[in-house]
Amino acid sequence: MTYIRPKFRHPDLPKNDLGYTTKEYEGSLSTLCAGCGHDSISASIIEACFELSIPPHRIAKLSGIGCSSKTPTYFLGNSHGFNSVHGRMPSVATGANMANRDLTYIGVSGDGDTASIGMGQFVHVIRRNLNMVYIVMNNGCYGLTKGQDSATADEGSKSKAGSVNPFQPIDLAGLALELGASFVAQSFSGDKEQLIPLIKAAISHQGFAFINVISPCVTFNNNPGSTKSYDYVREHIESTGKTDLVPEKTEILTSYESGTGTDVKMHDGTYIRLEKLAANRNPFDRMGAMNALQAARNRNEILTGLLFVETETENLHHTINSSERPLNSLLQEELCPGSLVLADINDELR
Amino acid sequence: MPNSKVNNFVIRFANVNGTGSASANYLCAKAIFRMGIPVTPKNIFPSNIQGLPTWYDVRVSEKGYLGRREGVDIMVCVNPQSMPDDVRSVRSGGYFIYDSTKALHPELIRSDVTYIGMPLMEMCLREFTDPRQRQLFKNIIYVGALVALLDIEFEVLEQLLAEQFEGKEKLISLNIKALKLGVQYIHDNFSFPLEIRLERRDLVGDKILVDGNSACGLGAVYGGATVVAWYPITPSTSVVEGFETYAKKLRIDPETGKKNFAIVQAEDELAAIGMVIGANWNGARSFTATSGPGLSLMNEFLGLAYFAEIPTVLIDVQRTGPSTGMPTRTQQSDILLAAYASHGDTKQVLIFPSTPKECFEMTAESFDLAELLQTPIILMTDLDLGMNDHMSEPFVWDDSKPYDRGKVLDAQQLEELPRFGRYLDVDGDGITYRTIPGTHPTKGSFFTRGTSRDEYAAYTEDGSVYARNMDRLLKKWDTAKDIVPAPVLYQQENKSPYGLIFFGTSTYSAEEAMDEMEVSGTVFDAMRLRSFPFNKTVEDFIHSHEMVFIIEQNRDGQMRSLLINELNVNPQKMIAVLNFDGMPITAQFISTRINKTLSPAINTEAKI
């Protein structure tokens, strides 16, 4: 079954700098369960790309396997998509990025896809600081196989069937910080006001940008006793402050009262505006972010917002000193040394 | 009457791994090559960095036979660990050259072998002070001894050293000194040259001496590969190292100094093939190299690339399996795994090079084939071809031939197209049109997936649509049969009821065995396979012979199984000739097995 969205849109829909409405950024109708947190994240991705006026065809969206990995069908229908194999999206994204450094890469994964089968590739794509956005739609369970606990399920969290998870959870945001990720954020699918600017900032970031989004599974993990239910998350959420991305590449004139706001200048000239930043929070302080995350966990709170950013960062293309031009655009005459050079090579082997 | 002992022998060096012996032994082989005499060096090394025994065989063959030959005519033994075995492996009438610093145990004395003892250790201690030099030059001193004993031309060695250490005069003179010490010792103590010796010839022509892995790496540079992802594994590692060495010389942008290539050392083989698939999907030519264990890991991704139709180039340098097997020994035992890699109904295109020249050109061609057929192309080489130097025809490149990028639509073509269908068989050959991400603002985007989909790349669970797609993939498979490298027939017309089929590194010894058997009265027709799928020529060859011998290097006759599975042929007449002990197959092994089948009455014990 393929769901096609009706073509009609309100004629007065707002347009972005490219003259596009959100219609150009939508995908097929979702086949996920009604109320699934993932659909809200898809909507946030659409809105973020629309607001940033990125030509949709200059985005590549990639995923692994699972409910979360189905979502790229439901956003950015004018972008090429790649639904790869379970847990291996990072490697496909790495190859794609090496081939063409000029596209925007948005990878979508789930907690099973990232924290279990894909853990190996997840940690290595962080190490390499690949220039991509990596969003985990984290619901603490395996939805497509009907609700088994995942590796991010909290210890003591109760499943729909009533069993209590006995294992320690893997904290993906904490892990990303520990491994040196250059952009780490955490959010909640039900908080678009926070999530959209975070996605925009992640796209503007010129390195590996990780967003762990708690995204309740309405069918299998939204029951009382679950720590990934809508009710639980709403009650236990704690924000680092309000975030916005200022796309104008002009000087920021706004000034804040001391201690209430910070503008973070990104490498591409945009600014992440952090308002009402919680006391003692510095977005450039990795250690502080790790401590704050752990402290929140100890209080049974979920710390959301931008946790850490390193704006001047070397991504994999810088590290390996590859061509500024996309490698997939190089021509045969630039790639093939030809028969005269080969004659010399033959001579060296005689 | 030519002297059969001139330019016709095997010399084996028995060394300790990690003592720098391989380069000294290679120097010796290269000198023989430069004297215009066909030579085949083979490094027989342990899975170890330092300390275990290692051997280096050099076969010299006036007739130009390049396969391995059993039996050692001259043993140069500088490893006490392996000495008893090394003494045993010398042919009757052969020579045993050893380090006589320590006296030889009386039990190691054979009456049918001539012993040439040189106090190598003592000479090194006397002549050199640096500990590393004392170790390294021991090897050069015995090469010097061989100069006198075998009539290696001294000027040739001087020239080779000058080339190898260009600009390092001190090293050159130290090496020359060590060589001369060896020469002098033989002059002072033994009669020379030996009966087994060398004479300059002009039998090499414009041939080159190179290993298959370097040739594959160079082929990938010429084939336009820009993204390389890999995970280290013997014996494939030097493919990527070869690519990197050549790319650093030939692929640096002159203006910016930046690399027109990207190499990523992946966390494992799964990631390596994933990266290759991602890069090819995004329009770059990309490859990985691995060996059996890596191929096992890559199976899931190979199924995705087959089903989602993504060009992929994979070089499998086969080693001895199963599992970790003998990781530094050769085999042709990944054939079935590669041919049907991944779950579900899959068939993968395999290419079988048998010389460094073919490693070069077939690697380059694989990128065209992958994009033409939009499927994985697996180049099936092996440790023997990949890691040993082989005398080969020189590399050839046709500058007038453009890369064939296959059916890729550009923005203009998309603009003119009423509706793009990624999996729509427009041309009727089973090969559909693809687009590269970022090509056109509103046309040509599609969703690549490993799940079933319709002609327009939309997800479907409609069984008839799924089956239609699977049938189209078979049609593409049929199209591939006449695009992939054709088999090589050794005769215009059949002249024998018996046929030989072989491929890859079994070729050298199969050709030699054919000559041998022809001399003793049995003529064979022969065909060298160069690819899978098999085309009609292969089927016709089998049908037109009463008995067909399939020569391969694995236990189970994997190529035989593949032929029987894919073609309508009678298994009864398909006889497997199988060598699987990890050493390259020999001509003698092949002819012995075939003779046994053809003349069961002859008592084999009486023969050898």
pLDDT in tens, B25-56: 999 999 999 999 999 999 999 888 888 999 99
What ipTM, to 2 d.p.?
0.95
Give the separation between CA A340 and CA B397, rounded to whole angstroms. Answer: 9
Query: Residues A85, B304: contact at Cβ < 8 Å?
Result: yes
Is the Cβ of A94 closer than 8 Å to some Cβ of chain B?
Answer: yes
Whether residue A179 lies inside any domain: the answer is: yes
Q: What backbone phi and psi angles, to 5 degrees, belong to B499?
A: -120, 145
Question: Residue A260: what residue type?
Answer: T
Indicate the pLDDT class of residue B109, thresholds 50, 70 and 90: very high
Residues 28-67 of A with CB under 8 A from B: 55-58, 60, 62
Looking up residue A59, the CATH number of its domain turns out to be 3.40.50.970
**Minimal-distance CA residue of chain A relative to B459:** A2
Sign of CA dihedral B596, B601, B603, B607: negative
DSSP string, A109-143: EEHHHHHTTTHHHHHHHHHTT-SEEEEEEE-SEET
Owning domain of residue A146: 22-320
CB–CB of A95 and B229 under 8 A? yes
Q: How many CA atoms lie within 13 A of B174 on its CB side?
A: 17
Give the separation between CA B142 and CA B71, rounded to whole angstroms. Answer: 21
**pLDDT value of residue B246:** 98
**Minimal-distance CA residue of chain A relative to B34:** A350
Question: Strands B376-382, B447-449: parallel, antiparallel or unpaired by DSSP?
Answer: unpaired
Q: How many residues are listed for chain A in this entry?
A: 350
Question: What residues contact residue A287 under an 8 Å CB cut-off, 6+ apart?
Answer: none
Q: Which of A98, A141, A106, A120 is nearest to A318 (CA)?
A: A98
Give the separation between CA A269 and CA A204, rounded to whole angstroms. Answer: 9
Chain A interface mutation, best of B211, B214, B226, highest count of A Cβ atoms under 10 Å: B226
Chain B interface mutation, best of A108, A128, A336, A347, highest count of B Cβ atoms under 10 Å: A336
Question: Residue A175: what residue type?
Answer: L
Helix H or strand E encompassing A81: strand A80-83
Q: Is B491 helix (H, G, I), strand (E, B) or coil?
A: coil
3-state SS, A198-252, equals HHHHHHHCCCEEEEEEECCCCCCCCCCCCCCCHHHHHHHEEECCEEEEECCCCCC
3-state SS, B447-475, equals EEECCCECCCCCECCCHHHHHHHHHHHHH
Q: Closest partner residue to B267 among A95, A121, A336, by Cβ?
A: A121
Show residues of chain A in contact with B206, CB under 8 Å: 346, 350
DSSP B579: -
Q: Is B250 helix (H, G, I), strand (E, B) or coil?
A: helix
CB–CB of B438 and A323 under 8 A? no
Q: Which of B512, B576, B265, B553 is nearest to B383 (CA)?
A: B553
Number of domains present in the structure of chain A: 1
Residues facing B61 on adjacent strands:
B8
Whether residue A14 lies inside any domain: the answer is: no
Q: How many residues are listed for chain B in this entry?
A: 608
Q: Is B252 helix (H, G, I), strand (E, B) or coil?
A: strand
Whether residue A299 lies inside any domain: the answer is: yes
Helix count and strand count (H, E) for chain A: 12, 13
CB–CB of B437 and A100 under 8 A? yes
Neighbour tally for B249: CB within 10 Å: 12
User: What mean pLDDT comes out for the span B436-449?
Assistant: 96
Whether residue A98 lies inside any domain: the answer is: yes
Give the separation between CA A340 and CA B251, rounded to whole angstroms. Answer: 15
Q: How far is B256 from chain A (nearest CA, A)?
A: 8
Is the Cβ of A93 closer than 8 Å to some Cβ of chain B?
Answer: yes
**pLDDT value of residue A248:** 58
**pLDDT value of residue B276:** 98
Q: Which of B15, B4, B116, B115 is nearest to B60 (CA)?
A: B4
H helices of B251-381, in order, are 269-281, 292-308, 335-339, 356-373
Residue B607 has pLDDT above 50, yes or no: no
Give the separation between CA B389 and CA B41, rounded to whole angstroms. Answer: 6
Q: Closest partner residue to B438 among A84, A103, A317, by Cβ?
A: A103
Residue B70 has pLDDT above 50, yes or no: yes
Give the separation between CA B141 and CA B175, rounded to whole angstroms. Answer: 9
Blockwise average pLDDT, block size 10, chain A, 350 residues: 65 92 94 94 97 97 96 96 97 98 98 97 98 97 92 93 93 97 95 94 96 95 93 90 70 47 77 69 91 91 93 95 98 98 97
Question: Residue B195: what residue type?
Answer: E
Give the separation between CA B431 and CA B153, rounded to whole angstroms. Answer: 58
Q: Look up residue B248 and give its two tokens.
A: 């650093």
Query: Residues B450, B274: contact at Cβ < 8 Å?
Result: no
Is the Cβ of A103 closer than 8 Å to some Cβ of chain B?
Answer: yes
**Minimal-distance CA residue of chain B relative to A316:** B264
DSSP B571: G
Indicate the pLDDT class of residue B378, thresholds 50, 70 and 90: very high
Whether residue A266 lies inside any domain: the answer is: yes
Distance of CA B479 to the CA centre of its chain: 28
Give the separation between CA A156 and CA B276, rounded to whole angstroms. Answer: 41
Residues 259-318 of A with CB under 8 A from B: 316-317
Whether residue A341 lies inside any domain: the answer is: no
Question: What residues contact residue A221 under an 8 Å CB cut-off, 6+ apart?
Answer: A139, A140, A141, A147, A153, A159, A160, A228, A229
Q: Which of A87, A117, A108, A90 is nearest to A41 (CA)?
A: A108
Q: What backbone phi and psi angles, to 5 degrees, belong to B596?
A: -60, -40
Q: Which of B220, B222, B257 is nearest to B241 (CA)?
A: B220
Query: Residues B585, B558: contact at Cβ < 8 Å?
Result: no
Query: Residues A60, B282: contact at Cβ < 8 Å?
Result: yes
Give the separation between CA B507 and CA B528, rounded to whole angstroms. Answer: 7
Helix H or strand E encompassing A44: helix A37-51
Whether residue A94 lies inside any domain: the answer is: yes
Helix H or strand E encompassing B231: none
Query: Residues B336, B560: contact at Cβ < 8 Å?
Result: no
Residue B605 has pLDDT above 80, yes or no: no
Q: How far is A305 from chain B (nearest CA, A)?
A: 31
Give the separation between CA B150 and CA B142, rounded to whole angstroms. Answer: 12
Q: Which of A183, A344, A331 is nearest to A270 (CA)?
A: A183
Indicate the pLDDT class of residue B3, thresholds 50, 70 and 90: low
pLDDT tens string B278-334: 999 999 999 999 999 999 999 999 999 999 999 999 999 999 999 999 999 999 999
Whether residue A338 lies inside any domain: the answer is: no
Give the separation between CA B573 and CA B586, rounded to whole angstroms. Answer: 23
Q: How far is B317 from chain A (nearest CA, A)?
A: 22
Q: How many CA atoms lie within 13 A of B363 on its CB side?
A: 36
**pLDDT value of residue B484:** 98
**pLDDT value of residue A216:** 94
